Amino acid sequence: MRIAYPGDYDAAYAASAPVLYHLGLEGAPTNNAFFVKTTEVFAIRHGECPDYVRGAMQRIFAQSASAAGRANVVANLRLCDEKMPVMEGGPLGGGGPNDWASMLSLWVSNAFATLSMENYPYESEGFKKWPLLSACTDMHSFVGTNGGNGNDDDVLVRALAIAMDYAYNMTNLPIPCFNITDEYAPCADLTGCGAANTPDAMSWDFASCTEIVSPVDTNNVTDMLPPSPYNFDKLKSYCAKRWYGAVPKPLLSSKIYPWYSQDRIVWSNGDYDGWSVGGIQPHTPGTPADTLVIIIPEAAHHLDLRGSSPQDPAAVIRARVKIRRQLLTWVEEATAERLARGRRA
């Protein structure tokens, strides 16, 4: 609102806003930067955790070609059945039309994207405390108990199921199996749109097919997930079929609302948040001088905007104080400027 209506809004506060994560935008991060950050955070407690995921996914892809192999994956990953969601034109990042392992990979990618954003220091909306970090802890413990050095591929797939439980089990009680067709809707955003056939999922899919186009992908080298290269042509084809001729316009929002056009904006990002890599950083070129850019340690997606908790990290508490003081200063300055203009008139 500060950018759109600078005469009406004296200051603004943008938390976890990935305004640089647009295809073709100057200063944009690499396409897989979201999952690079997610992988780095996942490895904080145990550096082996990303390799557990890589090993599990290699096993899944290797076994997916045969009925017996898929049955083994279903059993070890605790899936209810072999059914996978259907997507117009197949998975955006690769694989044949609705390729089984590629769809399963999207479900796994969505889980880690969700855990990256929901990685709060307390239980929240069904998610456990520090869910991304705790998923690694539990995977590491399971592999250590059941797989020795982690080279038993079936053990790694069973360990991956533990991580999936953090993302898809909101009950805090054991569930018998994962029903992928209910839990996940493949869409235009590799980080996920939400549960299948919900208004939230459909609205975010439409937004990702029109003006909020983030070119997220994975490469399995600097991130832990199977290669899924970004394909804009495939995105356009999907969006046209799914949303009655919709055309993705990746630079439209940045042209209408250029982030650098106004000062007196707080840009905050948590360094546990995958989206932080697409946000304004302390040394981002073009940042107006009268701007507060703050990186918050141990903070996931807009943790600083959430209500206070006794479990908040000290860095988040300090950041809130600093942000409040800065916003009050800007409002006082803007008020004084208006009064001065009125006296001159």
Q: Write a three-state SS string for 163-190.
A: HHHHHHCCCCCCCCCECHHHHCCCCCCC
Helix or strand holding residue 345 (H, E) = none
3-class SS shares of the chain: helix, strand, coil, % to 5: 45, 5, 50
**Neighbouring C-beta atoms of residue 237, cutoff 10 Å:** 15
- pLDDT band, very low/low/confident/very high, at 341 (cuts 50, 70, 90): confident
What the block records as the tokens of 59 is 């096993």
Query: 253-278 pLDDT, tens per residue?
Result: 999 999 999 999 999 999 999 999 99
CA–CA gap between residue 119 and residue 273 (Å, rounded): 8
Residue whose tokens read 């996914």: 57
**What sign has the CA pseudo-torsion 281, 288, 318, 10?**
negative
pTM, to two decimals:
0.95
Given a cut of 70, whether residue 97 has pLDDT beyond it is no
- The helix/strand/coil state of 270 is strand
Query: 288-334 pLDDT, tens per residue?
Result: 999 999 999 999 999 999 999 999 999 999 999 999 999 999 999 99
- pLDDT band, very low/low/confident/very high, at 162 (cuts 50, 70, 90): very high
